[in-house]
Amino acid sequence: MSDIFALDVSMGKSYCVWYRGKHCLKEFSLVHTKAGFNALRDMIKKAQKPIIYFEATGIYSRVIEHFCETNGLRFCRLNPLELHLKSESLRRVKTDQKDAHRIALTVQENAFRLTVPWKKEYLQLHELSRFYNQLNADWNYRLNHLHTALEQVFPELKQLFVNRTSKLALNIVELFPHPALVRPYSRVKLKNILMASTDKRISKMKAYKYADRLIDLAQKSYPAVSGDAIQVDEVRYYARQLIALTRKREEVIKRMESIAQRLPEYILYCSFPGIGKQTAAQLMGELGDISRFDNANQLNAFVGIDIRRYQSGTYLGQDHINKRGNPIARKLLYFTVGNMIRQQHANSNHIVDYYYRLKEKRPHPKLNKVAMVACMNKTLKCLLSMIKHHEKYHYRYTDSIVPVKA
């Protein structure tokens, strides 16, 4: 029988209990410092086949996980919801001490699978994927502020580009945030400034086109503020921020792709129509090594597209997806299926065929989102089978041809 160390993790500290069977040998407070972890390691050395159990608490439990991996200890990172369901009682008192004891007693009565640490490359991809999503959130936040400021100083400037968020567009916004800054320059001078000051190389003809359009928009514009207003500085500030974020996003994407290329699954992901290099790297970061899943149902639950069903007596509720899994992976898969549908004329894809069969199904055709989720499910099944059998995608690739062993 293994000794159990159960930790209730909080910010900077944990409450730890040491159990042998049903008997608590010791309980103590563990401060997350080098001295605290050294003392815990010395104590664990005296235990019999120790296993560390703790709830996943975001960034606070990362240090416990790192400690276990560094010292080669067996550990289990518990899902808080699963632990709650298996330890629920009629009477509930919530303290750190009682929670640690509750974890220790619950894991003895239920079978929890030990955590298998991810490979270094998957961990790096995961962190880069989350960083990329944070950069996107920051980018959208600053874009909204730029829009608000630009509406007051030079709203017509948005008509200059089809893609208003390109680096070229943002560079011009930073250079000429107000019509008064355009008027002193001639057509030739504006052309020279545009060619010299923008990141993207443009031809003389294109630079003249932008210069002419810029002069025309500046003449027509009637801004709400003068050229020395605070809003002009705001536009320049947010344009610079967006340019820096765009460069950082590109850097993160290149880094993700570079790391993903080291893994054998990368080329399998990229062989799937609708999954490009960036999407493949992000999916690998969010899903990890999917060969660790026994079957596609486990993978669906991890992503959060497994069915939530409610029935009581004669009442049968409408089915919904659980949404208890990884929301970023779920969003990625949704857009991936969308890409497959948009690129259907470029490559044959059985997922797209399945989508249209569901949409045209009689007498009850599926709604768009229902069909999309069904295609996400089918995509995950296909990807799992491809990874487990190390085969690239081909049109006739179905689960019936190459079954996934449970």
What is the per-residue pLDDT across 54-103, written as a single tens digit (0 to 9) for each? 999 889 999 999 999 999 999 999 988 888 888 876 466 677 788 899 99
Helices (H), 198-349: 204-220, 230-260, 265-270, 277-287, 296-303, 327-342
- 172: pLDDT strictly greater than 80: yes
Mean pLDDT to the nearest integer, 358-366: 86
Confidence of residue 406 (pLDDT cuts 50, 70, 90): very low
Answer yes or no: is 356 within a domain: yes
Which amino acid would we find at residue 116? V
Domain count, the chain: 3
273 with 341, same domain: the answer is yes
Interval 205-220: pLDDT, tens: 988 998 999 999 999 9
Range(s) of the domain holding residue 131: 124-257
CB atoms inside a 10 Å sphere around CB 272 = 23
State the pLDDT at residue 396: 65
State the pLDDT at residue 91: 60
The answer to whether 210 and 228 have CB atoms below 8 angstroms apart is no
Answer yes or no: is 115 within a domain: no
State the pLDDT at residue 110: 87
Residues 6+ apart with CB under 8 A from 102: 87
Answer yes or no: is 404 within a domain: no
State the pLDDT at residue 309: 72
Q: Which of 129-133, 275-279, 311-315 has the lowest average pLDDT? A: 311-315
Helices (H), 261-303: 265-270, 277-287, 296-303
Mean pLDDT to the nearest integer, 144-162: 90
Answer yes or no: is 114 within a domain: no
CATH code (residue 93): 3.30.420.10
CB atoms inside a 10 Å sphere around CB 106 = 19
35 with 55, same domain: the answer is yes
Answer yes or no: is 400 within a domain: no
CB atoms inside a 10 Å sphere around CB 2 = 13
CATH code (residue 173): 1.10.287.4070
Answer yes or no: is 394 within a domain: no
Q: Which of 32-36, 164-168, 253-257, 331-335 has the lowest average pLDDT? A: 164-168
State the pLDDT at residue 377: 94
Q: What is the mean pLDDT of the chain?
A: 89
